[in-house]
Chains A and B, each alone.
Chain A
Amino acid sequence: MNVGMLLDMAADGYESRVAIGSLADGVSYDGLRRAAGAIAARVAGSDAATIAVTEPNGAIVPATLFGAAWSGTSYAPLNYRLPEPALAELLVRLAPAVVARADWLDPSAPLPAGFPDEPERPAVLLFTSGTSAEPKAAVLGHDQLLAYIFNTVEFASAEADEAVLLAVPPFHIAGVAAVLSSTYAGRRIVPLPRFTAEEWLEVARAERVTHAFVVPTMLARIVQAMEEHPDARVPTLLHLAYGGARTPAPVLERALHLFPDAGFVNAYGLTETSSTVCVLGPDDHRAAHESDDPAVRARLSSVGRAVPGIEVRVVDPEGRELGPGVSGEIRIRGAQVSGAYVGQGSRVDTEGWLVTGDRGFTDTDGYVFVEGRGDDTIIRGGENIAPAEIEDALLRHPAVSAAAVVGLPDEEWGERVAVMVALRPGSTAAPDELRAWVHERVGSLKTPELVAIRDELPHTPTGKILRRQVRAELAEERER
C-alpha cells in the first residue's frame, strides 16, 4: 500500500474542504493532491531517492510528504534551524536527495496520475532527536504508517468546523502523524511555523482551533503565558493532546485547571513506532482527576493503554516479562512498529518486539506508566532513582519553570544527584532553598547535592531536555 491513498481518498471524499491554512485562503484537499502531484512530477525521471523539506510548517510539508509517496521516493523532513553544513551532512546520508522548494507547489496543477501501489522505498526517513547519542535516521514504511492510521483514525470522522493547530515541527514524528491523521479524518491543519506561547494562543483563538498537540516544554510555556494573561483563552479547544516526553505532573495539573472544557489526551509513542502506541483519553483524565481511589488517581501520570493493534510488555534485563507494578524496560509490538534505521541494524527482536530503552511499569488494568529513559535512571548507593519524582517536586516550587535531574559519576556512591533548574522571569531562589524544598518532599536520598541555576535548559529542537549536555555542564561545574 501507499500513504498516498490517504490524500487520494480525502480529495475524492471532501475535495473543496480546506486541508491546510485559513478558511479564507487555505489549500483544499483537491489542491493539496494537485500540489503533491506537481512535486512528484519534479522528481520524475531523476535518480532522487528522497525528497527533503527544510522549512517550517506550511503547505509545503503535506505536499512534499504526499508528493514523495506519489513518486515512490522517501519523505525526509529536516531541522530547518540547522546551520548549512549540518544540513548538507544529513542530505549526504540520504543521498541521492533533493530539497523541495516552495515554488514547486502548484495547487492548480493537473490531477496527478496514480501512485505506485507497492513503493520500493520507505515512506518516511526521520532523524531521531538523539538526546543521549548522535541522531539516527529512522525508517518508516508505508504499511507501518497506514497500520497506525487505519487502527486509530476513522475516515471523514472530523466535523466540518474542526481544525488542528500544528505546532510541532515537521521533523518530529508527531508532525508527520498529524498530517496523515488529519488528512484522513478531514480535519483542517492550521500550521504554526514557529512556536511561542503567545503566538500559539493567538492563532488558536483566531482560527477557532478545536484540536492541538503539544510537547511538554510547549505546554509549560502555554500554561505560564495563560497564568500571566488571564484573558488569553481558547474557548473553541475540544482536545488538547500532549506527549513526546514525560509531562511533569505540576504542569499537567495547571493545564487541566486552565482548560476546564477541553478533553486531555496523553499520547506515548516513539519515532520508531510511527507515533502513538498508548493513549490516556479525556474519560481517563476525568475519572483519574475525580476518583478517591489512589490507584485510579495515579493514572493521571500514566500514558494510558495501548491503542488497537499494539501490545506492550515490561521486561527485566534478561528479557523476562514482569508483572503489574514492577519496573522494567518497555517493549512494544505491532504492525505500526518499525525499529529500522538507515545504514544500521534494527532495534526489533526476533519476535517482533521493539526495544524502546524506556523504563516503566503497568498496572493491573493495563495502564502504562513511563518513568523515563532507562539511561536517565540514577543509581546512588545501589538505589534506583528516577529523575521524574525530583523534577516534579522542584516544579512545584513557585520560582521554578524547568528542571532536569541527572546523575554525576561519584567514587563513593556510584552516582550523585545533581540538578539544573531554570527560574521564572523575575523570580529568585537560592540553591540551598531549592535543596531544602526537595528534601522536605522526597527525602534526603533524592536531594540534589549540586543545584545549578540557568536562564534556560538545553533542549533539542523538538523540545526534549538534552540530558547529556546537562550532565556534561554539571560535571564541569562540579570540578570548579
Chain B
Amino acid sequence: MANLLGKRYTCPVCEATVLVTKPGDGELSCHGQPMEVLQAKPLPSSD
C-alpha cells in the first residue's frame, strides 16, 4: 500500500496520527497493526 502525500493515518489502538509529508511505498503500522486512513472532515474554507 502506497502512502499518499498529505494523507493522515491513525492507529486504532493508541490514536497516534501520522501525516505523510513525503510519499512512498510500504505500510505504516502501529501497535502491530496497519494504521488506518483518516477521513477528511468537511469544513468550509473560512479565510
Q: Give A residues with C-beta under 8 Å from B.
A: 5, 8-9, 12-13, 150, 152-157, 164, 174, 177-178, 181, 185, 187, 211, 213, 239, 241, 243, 263, 265, 267, 269, 275-276, 279, 281-282, 307-308
Q: Are B47 and A181 in contact (CB under 8 A)?
A: yes
Q: Are A13 and B5 in contact (CB under 8 A)?
A: yes
Residues of A within 8 A of B43 (CB): 152-153, 279, 281, 307-308
Q: Are B47 and A213 in contact (CB under 8 A)?
A: yes
- The 6 A-B pairs at the shortest CB distance, nearest first, are namely A155-B6, A267-B46, A154-B40, A177-B47, A281-B44, A276-B46
Q: Are B47 and A267 in contact (CB under 8 A)?
A: yes
Q: Are A239 and B47 in contact (CB under 8 A)?
A: no
Q: Are B40 and A157 in contact (CB under 8 A)?
A: yes
Interface residues of B in 10-24 (CB under 8 A from A): 19, 21-23
Contacts between chains A and B (CB distance < 8 A), count? 63
In the assembled complex, 6 residue pairs joining A and B whose CB atoms fall closer than 8 Å, in A order, are A12-B5, A13-B6, A154-B41, A155-B5, A155-B7, A307-B43
**Residues of B within 8 A of A (CB-CB), count:** 14
Residues of B within 8 A of A153 (CB): 43, 45
Residues of B within 8 A of A155 (CB): 5-7
Residues of B within 8 A of A308 (CB): 41, 43
Residues of A within 8 A of B46 (CB): 152, 213, 241, 243, 265, 267, 269, 275-276, 279, 307
Provide the B28-46 mask, 1 if CB < 8 A to any CB of A, else 0. 0000000000001101111
Distance, CA A239 to CA B6, complexed state (A) = 23
Closest to B40 in A: A154
Q: A154-B40, A155-B5, A155-B6 are in contact. Are A12 and B22 (CB under 8 A)?
A: yes
Residues of A within 8 A of B40 (CB): 154, 157
Contact of A279 among B5, B7, B22, B44 (CB under 8 A): B44
Q: Are B45 and A181 in contact (CB under 8 A)?
A: yes
Distance, CA A152 to CA B19, complexed state (A) = 14
Minimum C-beta distance from B17 to chain A (A): 9
Q: Are A263 and B6 in contact (CB under 8 A)?
A: no
Minimum C-beta distance from B46 to chain A (A): 4
Residues of B within 8 A of A267 (CB): 46-47
Q: Are B6 and A9 in contact (CB under 8 A)?
A: yes
Minimum C-beta distance from A13 to chain B (A): 5
Distance, CA A267 to CA B47, complexed state (A) = 8
Distance, CA A174 to CA B5, complexed state (A) = 26
Residues of B within 8 A of A157 (CB): 40
Q: A154-B40, A155-B6, A157-B40 are in contact. Are A9 and B21 (CB under 8 A)?
A: yes
Residues of A within 8 A of B44 (CB): 239, 241, 263, 265, 279, 281-282
Minimum C-beta distance from B19 to chain A (A): 7
Distance, CA A9 to CA B23, complexed state (A) = 10
Minimum C-beta distance from B23 to chain A (A): 8
Distance, CA A13 to CA B6, complexed state (A) = 9
Distance, CA A153 to CA B40, complexed state (A) = 9
Q: Are A185 and B45 in contact (CB under 8 A)?
A: yes
Minimum C-beta distance from B34 to chain A (A): 21
Contact of A241 among B7, B22, B47 (CB under 8 A): B47
Residues of B within 8 A of A178 (CB): 47
Distance, CA A282 to CA B43, complexed state (A) = 10
Contact of A265 among B5, B6, B45 (CB under 8 A): B45
Among B40, B41, B45, chain A packs the most CB atoms within 10 A around the CB of B45
Distance, CA A12 to CA B20, complexed state (A) = 12
Contact of B5 among A9, A185, A263, A282 (CB under 8 A): A9
Among A12, A174, A177, A275, chain B packs the most CB atoms within 10 A around the CB of A12
